[in-house]
Chain A
């Protein structure tokens, strides 16, 4: 036991060393300090717990779910929650708990896909606009203005109407509506960094714009972007659920939470659980992302309180 505590102490001391010996040590030390600050915020820890639980549930869905999410058994229609069916069953006799568990995968997939598309696009567009300025900047900012002039959901609806319903098209539609704020943030960060001395120094040593953007500007934009992404995930989940609710997102029999609410709506007054429980799942997960994002903002981006 004493050996273990010595090693952890050793790690702590190494991480918190006032004069780090290597770049890696300095970076890890910074991350550790951030973690210590983050850990002091109980709400943020709750958020982190929810998201870790979501990841675990999604990864282990086949082992956690007691039944198939799509197998129907009409003799078990609309059963109240009890010991075998924790969340009851739906109108086709499917176990709602199992559907929620499998639905976590769909939710995570949608969020991850949107973020993977949107964050890099916003980063590149925003930093390029901010760094080069001039007409390039003016045109790009006008384009983001146009996109921001629509409420997101309505623009996404119009895109899905054009592309046709389905989960891939829902992801594309959400991504098309989600990138402008990222570009704006990256641009604003770039504008403050652009005239810094170290950029001038890099330019004088002969670094080209590409190298400056990728090596010096983008890394500094990352922290505000990460905060924004985390806070945005809740919004993405809610818009995706809205599309699912309208029947434009994931198609049946897929256990997407929004679509589950839509089908439970018909039984709302007599079998409350069918529509209520998927909604609770959506609320929990998006609350988790919001709490996590709030906590990350305090640590990574203290100026934006």
Chain B
């Protein structure tokens, strides 16, 4: 691919992303319009005198035509202004930045679990196609598509926390360990490791491991399934025969040659599953009282705090689009065959 055509496809990607983002904002804007909650009343309270009500209504631009309101909404959102949360009375954007590291931590540990178990499982299934190993991986995958994440979380709490006492219960940190370390990144595992507070680290790890394993199971199901089908395709290729004829050990053929060639498409799969974890994290965080973006969205939802709900939704959409775009670009860079 020449530099020119690469630049052109880059422009195309940016254009597509911008359009999708615009559509996303249109959807959230329209959702905000159909809510049966009066936005003026939500801002001023129901005891405000009529002239205050009228002033706020004008300030919010609610007397203008719909397209103009959308334009105002657009300029606000693009400058990071999602309004204030009724529940926490902070700016929604500040709230989101405060809770986001917790979700990031959870999703990252979950993805690590999914990748480190899912890829080997997929390879083993592909090598033993049709045998019991393959069936086990297949069933694990099918079950992963059939279990509600919140129920698996509850069962995990029941077994590993209540019955076996192997892990810590709900929450992100034990009460005794809160606020012991300086927040640098907001990710407790990282912060405690940087500052060498290993007690805090152990406590945080004990809290994150169960919800991350629950979430990670779903990415494991997806990653192992995709790894399997990529590997089966690779193992049919002629270079594999060549490698075997050369006398390379089977282990080297499978884990170096074949797996090495599926890593690029797997990158897309991993990124996609990372983005999908955001969805699972909403319910997982609720079950585990994990103070992240998911819990923030559901809490705001239950108290009809629309600014916060829509702000959180936009945030998730942005991350989702961002990850997809990044993988797309990365894929083009790594694999010259991709157009």
**Roughly how many angstroms separate A85 CA and B196 CA in the complex, as a whole number?**
54
Residue B317 lies at the interface, judged by CB distance under 8 Å to chain A: yes
Tell me the nearest residue of chain B to A264, going by C-beta: B154
Residue B143 lies at the interface, judged by CB distance under 8 Å to chain A: yes
Find out whether the CB atom of A142 lies under 8 angstroms from the CB atom of B148: no
Tell me the nearest residue of chain A to B142, going by C-beta: A290
Encode B20-55 as 1/0 by CB contact (under 8 A) with A. Answer: 100110111001101110000000000000000000
Among the listed stretches A25-33, A92-100, A214-222, A276-284, which one makes contact with chain B, having 4 or more residues with CB under 8 Å of it?
A276-284
Residue A14 lies at the interface, judged by CB distance under 8 Å to chain B: no
Chain B contacts for A248, CB-based, 8 A: 301
Among the listed stretches B2-10, B75-83, B260-268, B308-316, which one makes contact with chain A, having 4 or more residues with CB under 8 Å of it?
B308-316
Chain A contacts for B150, CB-based, 8 A: 242, 245, 261
Residue B250 lies at the interface, judged by CB distance under 8 Å to chain A: no
> Count of chain B residues with Cβ under 8 Å from any Cβ of A?
50
A151, A158, A261: the one contacting B28 at CB < 8 Å is: A158
Residue B321 lies at the interface, judged by CB distance under 8 Å to chain A: yes
A161, A269, A272, A276: the one contacting B301 at CB < 8 Å is: A161
Chain A contacts for B245, CB-based, 8 A: none
The smallest beta-carbon distance between B235 and chain A, in angstroms, is 15
Find out whether the CB atom of A146 lies under 8 angstroms from the CB atom of B24: yes
Encode B272-304 as 1/0 by CB contact (under 8 A) with A. Answer: 000110110011001100000000011001101
Residue B151 lies at the interface, judged by CB distance under 8 Å to chain A: yes
Tell me the nearest residue of chain B to A163, going by C-beta: B34
A-B residue pair count with CB separations less than 8 angstroms: 139
Find out whether the CB atom of A162 lies under 8 angstroms from the CB atom of B34: yes
**Roughly how many angstroms separate A286 CA and B148 CA in the complex, as a whole number?**
9
Residue B126 lies at the interface, judged by CB distance under 8 Å to chain A: no
B16, B26, B155, B279: the one contacting A279 at CB < 8 Å is: B155
Encode A271-300 as 1/0 by CB contact (under 8 A) with B. Answer: 010011001001100110011001000000
Chain A contacts for B213, CB-based, 8 A: none
Known contacts A145-B20, A275-B154: A150-B146 contact under CB 8 Å: no
Known contacts A145-B23, A162-B35, A279-B155: A150-B148 contact under CB 8 Å: no
Chain B contacts for A279, CB-based, 8 A: 147-148, 151, 154-155
Encode A124-162 as 1/0 by CB contact (under 8 A) with B. Answer: 000000000000000000110111011111110111111
**Roughly how many angstroms separate A151 CA and B149 CA in the complex, as a whole number?**
15
Tell me the nearest residue of chain A to B162, going by C-beta: A269
**Roughly how many angstroms separate A299 CA and B44 CA in the complex, as a whole number?**
61
Chain A, interface size category, equals 35 or more
Residue A164 lies at the interface, judged by CB distance under 8 Å to chain B: yes
Residue A207 lies at the interface, judged by CB distance under 8 Å to chain B: no
Known contacts A146-B20, A149-B20: A155-B313 contact under CB 8 Å: yes
Residue A265 lies at the interface, judged by CB distance under 8 Å to chain B: yes
The smallest beta-carbon distance between A246 and chain B, in angstroms, is 6
Residue A268 lies at the interface, judged by CB distance under 8 Å to chain B: yes
Find out whether the CB atom of A287 lies under 8 angstroms from the CB atom of B146: yes
Chain A contacts for B73, CB-based, 8 A: none
B118-144 contacts to A (CB < 8 Å): 142-143
Chain B contacts for A269, CB-based, 8 A: 158, 162
Chain B contacts for A159, CB-based, 8 A: 31
A246-278 contacts to B (CB < 8 Å): 246-248, 258, 261, 265, 268-269, 272, 275-276
Tell me the nearest residue of chain A to B31, going by C-beta: A162
Find out whether the CB atom of A268 lies under 8 angstroms from the CB atom of B23: no
Find out whether the CB atom of A151 lies under 8 angstroms from the CB atom of B278: yes
The smallest beta-carbon distance between A154 and chain B, in angstroms, is 5
The smallest beta-carbon distance between A225 and chain B, in angstroms, is 19
**Roughly how many angstroms separate A159 CA and B309 CA in the complex, as a whole number?**
10
Residue A238 lies at the interface, judged by CB distance under 8 Å to chain B: yes
Residue A234 lies at the interface, judged by CB distance under 8 Å to chain B: yes
Encode A25-46 as 1/0 by CB contact (under 8 A) with B. Answer: 0000000000000000000000
**Roughly how many angstroms separate A294 CA and B155 CA in the complex, as a whole number?**
27
Find out whether the CB atom of A142 lies under 8 angstroms from the CB atom of B310: no
Residue B331 lies at the interface, judged by CB distance under 8 Å to chain A: no
Known contacts A269-B162, A287-B142: A157-B154 contact under CB 8 Å: no
**Roughly how many angstroms separate A282 CA and B278 CA in the complex, as a whole number?**
22
Find out whether the CB atom of A258 lies under 8 angstroms from the CB atom of B31: no
B143, B287, B321: the one contacting A287 at CB < 8 Å is: B143
B143, B146, B158, B304: the one contacting A268 at CB < 8 Å is: B158
A interface with B by C-beta (< 8 Å):
142-143, 145-147, 149-155, 157-164, 234-235, 238, 241-242, 245-248, 258, 261, 265, 268-269, 272, 275-276, 279, 282-283, 286-287, 290-291, 294
List the 3 shortest-distance A-B pairs measured between CB atoms, nearest first.
A146-B23, A151-B279, A279-B151
B interface with A by C-beta (< 8 Å):
16, 19-20, 23-24, 26-28, 31-32, 34-36, 142-143, 145-151, 154-155, 157-158, 162, 275-276, 278-279, 282-283, 286-287, 297-298, 301-302, 304, 306, 309-310, 312-313, 316-317, 320-321, 324
In addition to A151-B279, A261-B148, A279-B151, 13 A-B residue pairs with Cβ atoms within 8 Å of each other are A142-B23, A146-B23, A146-B26, A149-B324, A154-B279, A155-B27, A161-B304, A234-B145, A268-B157, A279-B155, A283-B143, A286-B146, A290-B145
Residue pairs across A and B with Cβ atoms less than 8 A apart, 23 shown, are A142-B23, A145-B16, A145-B19, A146-B20, A150-B27, A153-B283, A157-B297, A157-B301, A161-B35, A162-B306, A238-B146, A238-B148, A245-B148, A245-B150, A245-B286, A246-B298, A261-B148, A269-B158, A275-B151, A283-B143, A283-B151, A286-B145, A294-B142
